[in-house]
Amino acid sequence: MYVPLSSHEPQNGEARGRKRGITGDAASRREAIRKRERRVVETEEERSRRLSTIAQHGQDRRAEETEEQRNSRLSDMAQRGQERRAEETEEQRNSRLVIMAQRGQERRAEGTNEQRNSRLSAMLQHARERRLNVIEGQNHHQIQTFYTARTVLN
C-alpha cells in the first residue's frame, strides 16, 4: 500500500506510517541513531538480508495498492525527479549521464547473445516503424496538396 511521504499516521493496521527525514521526538532520534550504529557493524550477509527484506516489503506494499495510489506514487516520483534534475549543476548532469552510459554498457556486455539479438531486433523494428511513419506523413502531405490543388483548379 502506498503511503504519501507526508503521512506519519498508521495506515490500515500498519504498526506505524513510513517516516522520512527529521523525526520529531527524542525517542525516535535515539532509535534512528541505534539503527545507524547497527548498520555500520553489520556483515555483508546481514546487509544483504536487510535490504532484501526492505525490497520485499516494498513489493508487498505495491502489490496491495490501488491504481489510483500507484498513479499518485509514480506522479510523486516523477515530480521529485524533475525537481532534482532542475536543481543539478551542469557538472552533476554530466556525471549522471556518464554513469547511466556506463551502466548501459555493462548491461549490454553482460547480456547473452539471445538478449543482444532481441535488443537489435527491437531496434530494427523501431527504425522500420519510424520510417513508415515518415512515409505515411509524406503521403498524407502529398494527398492534402493534391486535393488542395484540385479544389483550386475547379
Domain spans, the chain: 24-87
Which residues have a Cβ under 8 Å from the Cβ of 29 and sit 6 or more positions away?
23
pLDDT of residue 16: 52
Question: Is the entire prediction scored with pTM above 0.85?
Answer: no
Band (pLDDT 50/70/90 cuts) for residue 151 is confident
For the beta carbon of residue 19, count every other beta carbon within 10 angstroms.
14
What is the DSSP-derived secondary structure letter of residue 115?
H
pLDDT of 121-150, one tens digit each?
999 999 999 999 888 888 888 888 888 888
How far is the C-alpha of 12 from the C-alpha of 2, rounded, in Å? 11
pLDDT of residue 153: 79
pLDDT of 109-122, one tens digit each?
999 999 999 999 99
